[in-house]
Amino acid sequence: MTAIAVTIAGSDSSGGAGVQADLKTFSALGVYGASVLAALTAQNTQGVQGIHGVPPEFVRQQMDSIFSDLAVGAVKIGMLATPEVIETVAEGLLAHNVHTVVLDTVMVAKSGDPLLRPEAVDTLRDRLVPRAMVITPNLPEAARLLDAEQARNESEMREQAKALLALGPGAVLIKGGHSGGTEATDLLVTRDNVTRLPAKRIATRNTHGTGCTLSSAVAAELAKGQALEEAVVAAKAYLTAALGAADSLRIGLGQGPVHHFHALWPQLEGAEQ
């Protein structure tokens, strides 16, 4: 059977993050991708110029269309923007009995522009975090969800991940990309185990869409039948390689995207010669 994953998120008109990055990631990893557009952004590599909300009833209509027809193996949730859309997505997941959910707790774009209304954080924490198999906050997002100071080291990351577990998700993948040092270390924390996921920090400014790419890669691997830890390890390896190849792209004037098709495009170029 064909592996299918669905992204419920906002669009990125420049193609580097959001739904576009998710669909690219699904395709790169051999998974058929479907989408529910929850918000529209006017966005490029330099920032977010505008956000246009999608009516909650239309978000639900998209969800009903997909889940009534496609054999969905995993769902990735990204930017939802408003409390009303968050409520709608939570109700849709419940109605369609969806359990394999990767929740990327998107709050701020790589450029620093806000993507989630402040009043929506509580709704996200209360309605969607408990429904997730795994949530994937970065350090600022973890701190915001907990109303705490940002973690400064791995010990504090571990403690914050355990505090997030108390909110109800099955697991927490807390990302250390905002920390300093030569390594970008993430921690996958469950009720029974802590898995350390180190990677050499890659010197590139082309980091647009890294969070979207990692969470959608986890969803893709889950859709293919991988267990959670194996899915996270594979997703981390994919993102690391996409970051390593990012400077081969020349996209935009600001923070460019990672190279989602790093394993495919060189083969195509070679085939044309």
Strands 172-174 and 186-189: antiparallel
211 given a catalytic annotation: yes
41 given a catalytic annotation: no
CA distances from 23 to 18, 151, 261 (A): 9, 31, 11
Instruction: Measure the CA–CA gap between 155 and 218, rounded to whole angstroms.
Output: 24
pLDDT tens for 140-191 read 999 999 999 999 999 999 999 999 999 999 999 999 876 666 788 999 999 9
**Domains defined along the chain, listed by start:** 4-272 (3.40.1190.20)
**What is the token pair recorded at 203?**
């010197």
7 given a catalytic annotation: no
pTM of this prediction exceeds 0.75: yes
Element counts in the chain: helices (H) and strands (E) = 9, 9
Catalytic residue among 212, 236, 240, 256: 212
78 given a catalytic annotation: no
pLDDT of 16 over the 90 cut: yes
209 given a catalytic annotation: yes
204 given a catalytic annotation: no
Catalytic residue among 211, 213, 240, 256: 211
Mean pLDDT score of the chain:
93
Instruction: Measure the CA–CA gap between 239 and 217, rounded to whole angstroms.
Output: 8
Q: Crossing angle, helix 228-244 and helix 210-223, to 10 degrees? A: 140
Query: In the prediction, which pLDDT does 158 show?
Result: 96
Catalytic residue among 7, 123, 210, 213: 210
